[in-house]
Structure 1
Amino acid sequence: MDRRALLIAGLAAPVAAQTPPPAGKALPGPAPTETIDLWPAGAPGAPATLPSETVTERSTDPGRSDRAVAGIVRPRLVVFRPVQPNGGAMLVIPGGGFRHVVVDKEGYELGRWLAARGVTAFVLFYRLPGDGWAAGPDVALSDAQRAMRRIRHRAAAFGIDPARVGAMGFSAGGHVCADLAARFATSTYAPVDAADALPARPLLAAPIYPVVSMTPPLAHPGSRTLLIGDNPALEAAHSPHRNIPADAPPCFLVHAEDDASVPVDNSLVLRAALRARNIAVETHLFTAGGHGFGLRGAVGKPAAAWPELFLAWATTQGLVSAA
């Protein structure tokens, strides 16, 4: 779809009341209030017994929240609008090992950081593969594809260019991000409205310390169990590096060498697969950072450089203006 058609598609109808963000501590900084439900008529393929959404506050710091949301039934986007939007947008996909979605340190903090730099950010609350949805291991990818299309469908309302929408994900959310980069064109759900005529391919993708391989010993055991169970026959289909198409978007990879949870070789096999397809890939490996550092956990470590490195690279890819 060309740029003109995307811009026309952005003139969407008003949206009804949406599912709110989860409650949390009253912290400094703007609290998000604007959300977009991905599936206004309800997410497809619901299990007979729906999970119950729960929010667990894991932080012991009274000045900082670290919420984990499980049992997501109403997948949605939480919106962070810049004061002065530059036309670029990012879908932000938090991690959580497919057990829950870590909304603060790998979601809201990135949303605020991007918005402060003029990028409209959409934090994704996605369904989890262990909750019995009919899409099974494709359920989070379905939500990511639908999210890209919903963002583009409403681009005019947010002052963004629908051709300049990227995706960023962390850990298990990095798997979803890499899967979106690899299988954006794969049909994982039946179209439900006009938004589904729009492309799901991101302008660029940034899997950050991503879970990639589903094959031991590289596979993160917990993520593998919840995504594909003990089924080696599903490993290839759900290992993004084994499904890179010739038109995959350029990628930005970040990993710490001392990551004890998700081996750094997950990023390296993804990088090799991208290069084999002649897809542009920028890779930053840091000596220290551990796993799950996001923004807050990288402070004082070599990995602290990654956000500005990403912004500089994203500018060269056209996500934000160089002016």
Structure 2
Amino acid sequence: MDAKVELKRVMFLLVGLLCAFYGNAQERQPIWPADKMPDAQSHQIASMLDEAEKADFDADKHRIAYLEWYEKPDPAIANKACMVLISGGAYNSCCDMNLIELWKKTFSDLGFQCVNLVYRTPRPIGIPIYQTAWEDGQRAIRLVRSEAGKHGFDPEKIGVISMSAGSHLALMLATSSSVPAYEAIDQFDTIPCHINYAIVNAPAYVTTDGEAGIPAWLQGYGPDVRLSACFRFDDKTCPMSLHHGGMDEYSPNGSTLVYHKLRSMNIPAELHLYPNKGHGAYGLERGVEFLRQIGIMGPLDQEVDIMTRYAGDEDRKEVVKQNVWPDGKMPNAQEHQLLPYIEWHFPKVLKTKAIQIIYSGGSYEGNDPNGFEVAPARRLLNKLGMTVVTLRYRTPRPKGLSKHITAWEDLQRTIRLVRSQAATYGLDPDQIGIMGSSAGGHLTLMGVTSSRHNSYLPIDEIDKLPCDVQWGIGIYPAYVLSDGFDGPNTNKGNDENVTLAPEFSFDLSTAPMLFIHGDADVYSAMGSVKVWEKMRSMGIQSELHTLALRNHCFQSKASPGTGSYTWLDRIVDFLKEQKKLDHE
């Protein structure tokens, strides 16, 4: 670089520094030399919306995209990572000032160096709506990487958090760094522009029915709808945490499709889907847990056994045990199977009339109503004032029948028993939910989706009652997909032609569900995702969380501060949203 060019660049940076100090920003750094910005268009500006709306705003002084560097984190907590903040605004403005402030505070307090990327808007004319923002984004990441030494972070620990159109841009940066968005202009453009992690909120324009810059007019469904081809998913594609509202007009199916693609590339990822939520950023703490789990925030704390965390029954008032079937009336009785029974666990202080039925997994070869898949949830819900019924269903697998048939009979009978006795205990017979893990998660799907399909012939008056439920909770459900009917999924559930198991009817009584699944589970998380997609196509809003790098039985032992440690809180949140627990 000759002396004149270098002097010009230095002067330009100094000008940027002189106007840098507004809000909580420490330094404003122009992304481009004034005469080198590609695809410059006279109607575009680079400014956050609150600044652009000021009466004295001079557009000509705000043409060049810039980085806004915030103060370095406290050295005592600095984690050597950088978080780039990217606002949304339909590619027509950078409008998420409140989110930028929230993200800056959250991640600065966690030890990240934070920097706000302010890219050019409104949409360019004659080129893709994202083109100038993508150019700004690639250049910005190169400059951020070049500043790593100065600002004290690792150049391979650069990530983004984003919203809406900003999340479309984040996906471009996360998936397509090998494709140059512009022709190189100086030595900075020899620096790699990949990012290392991303928290992507409500990405817009991801599916082909909305890629022109409109809401997904087919809701992200159908044989003609695919991921937009602008996302290349190259070999630098990074781990991501995708967050989306189930009612978002910028379809959450865009996030499920991105998640599926990441899984097919063996890239750790999380997917967090929120029922009845529109366009917005949800679950920030889930994103923090994701970063902690994948090691961005340093080594994980030692894992803790969940049974030591929920060890006692001090919040339980009493237990009532009863057999599921009258003597001599159990259908398909087989001598090698255990006798099924239920236990009512009543809380000391009843705070809700709703009832949660819980049972474990065990490959349909065994099940334990007192183990780690049942007892912690039961104890927590008792503490919160909810009555819990535990079920020990028949195992091992029946001979001459499908693996789940006798357990399904036991579950349908259990729901009817609970419904028949609820009023006696001052509970609501029409507020019953079911929860199971692994094979028990499969059983939960049977109970949720197929209650109009009787699994046995009636034996008494109780069997005249319906066996539908009002909600379900599926924890890493197994045997959900066609490549894993009777064991682990043969290709991680990632093949395009994999279908849902045929035993799920998805009848008119199908209820909303919460799914929690390890992303690395050999019983594929895509089972939960595909059920979520199916329910959404029926107009049923469910919730879903997958956990990066976590396998089957993720909760048995988990590190504090990760999603595998806080998973029971997702159940409590879900029950509160379903109005089964009081908001306290």
Same fold (TM over 0.5): yes
Q: Within 2, Cα distance between the matches of 1:55 and 1:316?
A: 32
Partner of 2:256: 268
What's the CA shift for 1:92? 1.3
Contact conserved, 2:133 with 2:169, CA < 8 A, in 1? yes
Secondary structure in 1 matching 2:115: strand
Secondary structure in 2 matching 1:17: helix
Secondary structure in 1 matching 2:296: coil
Matches within 5 A, 1:299-318: 303=282, 306-318=283-295
Matches within 5 A, 1:64-83: 73-81=63-71, 82-83=73-74
Secondary structure in 2 matching 1:131: coil
Q: Within 2, Cα distance between the matches of 1:54 and 1:321?
A: 34
Matched, 1:149 2:111: no
Higher Cα radius of gyration: 2
Equivalent residue for 2:173, pick from 169, 180, 192: 180
Partner of 1:97: 90
What's the CA shift for 1:210? 0.6
TM-score, length of structure 1 as denominator length:
0.73
Q: Within 2, Cα distance between the matches of 1:83 and 1:272?
A: 38
Q: Within 2, Cα distance between the matches of 1:57 and 1:135?
A: 26
Partner of 2:107: 114
Partner of 1:213: 206
Partner of 2:197: 204
Question: Compared with structure 1, are the counterparts of its residues 96 and 189 closer, same or farther at alpha carbon in structure 2 (3 Å cutoff)?
Answer: same
Partner of 1:250: 239
TM-score, length of structure 2 as denominator length:
0.42
What's the CA shift for 1:41? 3.2
Equivalent residue for 1:45, pick from 27, 39, 44: 39
Partner of 1:229: none
What's the CA shift for 1:203? 0.8
* The 10-residue stretch of structure 1 (172-181 or 191-200) with the greater mean CA deviation from structure 2: 191-200
Question: Compared with structure 1, are the counterparts of its residues 32 and 223 closer, same or farther at alpha carbon in structure 2 (3 Å cutoff)?
Answer: farther
Output one character per residue of 1:235-262: Cα deviation in whole Å (capped at 9) or x when no partner: 9443x2xx21244111111112132x31
Question: Compared with structure 1, are the counterparts of its residues 263 and 136 closer, same or farther at alpha carbon in structure 2 (3 Å cutoff)?
Answer: closer
What's the CA shift for 1:70? 9.0
Question: Compared with structure 1, are the counterparts of its residues 103 and 258 closer, same or farther at alpha carbon in structure 2 (3 Å cutoff)?
Answer: closer
Q: Within 1, Cα distance between the matches of 2:99 and 2:235?
A: 29
Q: Within 2, Cα distance between the matches of 1:70 and 1:207?
A: 30
Secondary structure in 2 matching 1:113: helix
Q: Which amino acid in structure 1 is aligned with residue 40 of structure 2? A: A
Contact conserved, 1:257 with 1:287, CA < 8 A, in 2? yes
Secondary structure in 1 matching 2:14: coil
Structure number with higher relative contact order (C-alpha < 8 Å, ≥ 6 residues apart): 1
Q: Within 1, Cα distance between the matches of 2:128 and 2:275?
A: 38
Output one character per residue of 1:103-132: Cα deviation in whole Å (capped at 9) or x when no partner: 412323212221111101111111136234
Output one character per residue of 1:144-172: Cα deviation in whole Å (capped at 9) or x when no partner: 11111101111111111111111222111
Partner of 1:63: none
Equivalent residue for 2:214, pick from 202, 211, 222: 222
Output one character per residue of 1:203-255: Cα deviation in whole Å (capped at 9) or x when no partner: 11221111142521x5585379xxxxxxx9xx9443x2xx2124411111111
Question: Compared with structure 1, are the counterparts of its residues 135 and 187 closer, same or farther at alpha carbon in structure 2 (3 Å cutoff)?
Answer: farther
Secondary structure in 1 matching 2:88: coil
Secondary structure in 1 matching 2:134: helix
Question: Compared with structure 1, are the counterparts of its residues 46 and 100 closer, same or farther at alpha carbon in structure 2 (3 Å cutoff)?
Answer: same
Structure 1 regions of 5+ residues with no counterpart?
Answer: 1-12, 24-29, 59-68, 225-231, 294-302
Question: Compared with structure 1, are the counterparts of its residues 97 and 223 closer, same or farther at alpha carbon in structure 2 (3 Å cutoff)?
Answer: farther
Q: Which runs of 4+ in 1 moved over 3 A?
A: 19-23, 49-58, 69-72, 131-137, 218-224
Q: Which amino acid in structure 1 is aligned with residue 38 of structure 2? A: P
Contact conserved, 2:48 with 2:94, CA < 8 A, in 1? no
Q: Within 2, Cα distance between the matches of 1:289 and 1:45?
A: 37
What's the CA shift for 1:318? 3.2
Contact conserved, 2:89 with 2:164, CA < 8 A, in 1? yes
Partner of 2:404: none
What's the CA shift for 1:189? 1.3
Contact conserved, 2:161 with 2:199, CA < 8 A, in 1? yes
Question: Compared with structure 1, are the counterparts of its residues 314 and 16 closer, same or farther at alpha carbon in structure 2 (3 Å cutoff)?
Answer: same
What's the CA shift for 1:134? 7.0
Secondary structure in 2 matching 1:157: helix
* The 10-residue stretch of structure 1 (171-180 or 247-256) with the greater mean CA deviation from structure 2: 247-256
Output one character per residue of 1:67-93: Cα deviation in whole Å (capped at 9) or x when no partner: xx9996210111222233321001111
Secondary structure in 2 matching 1:90: strand
What's the CA shift for 1:53? 5.9
Q: Which amino acid in structure 2 is aligned with residue 202 of structure 1? A: I
Contact conserved, 1:129 with 1:140, CA < 8 A, in 2? no
Secondary structure in 1 matching 2:250: coil
Q: Within 1, Cα distance between the matches of 2:176 and 2:102?
A: 27
Output one character per residue of 1:247-290: Cα deviation in whole Å (capped at 9) or x when no partner: 4111111112132x312111111111212222221111122442
Question: Compared with structure 1, are the counterparts of its residues 247 and 33 closer, same or farther at alpha carbon in structure 2 (3 Å cutoff)?
Answer: closer
Q: Which amino acid in structure 1 is aligned with residue 67 of structure 2? A: L
Q: What is the count of residue pairs matched by the alignment? A: 269
Contact conserved, 2:205 with 2:215, CA < 8 A, in 1? no
Contact conserved, 1:245 with 1:277, CA < 8 A, in 2? no
Question: Compared with structure 1, are the counterparts of its residues 195 and 53 closer, same or farther at alpha carbon in structure 2 (3 Å cutoff)?
Answer: closer
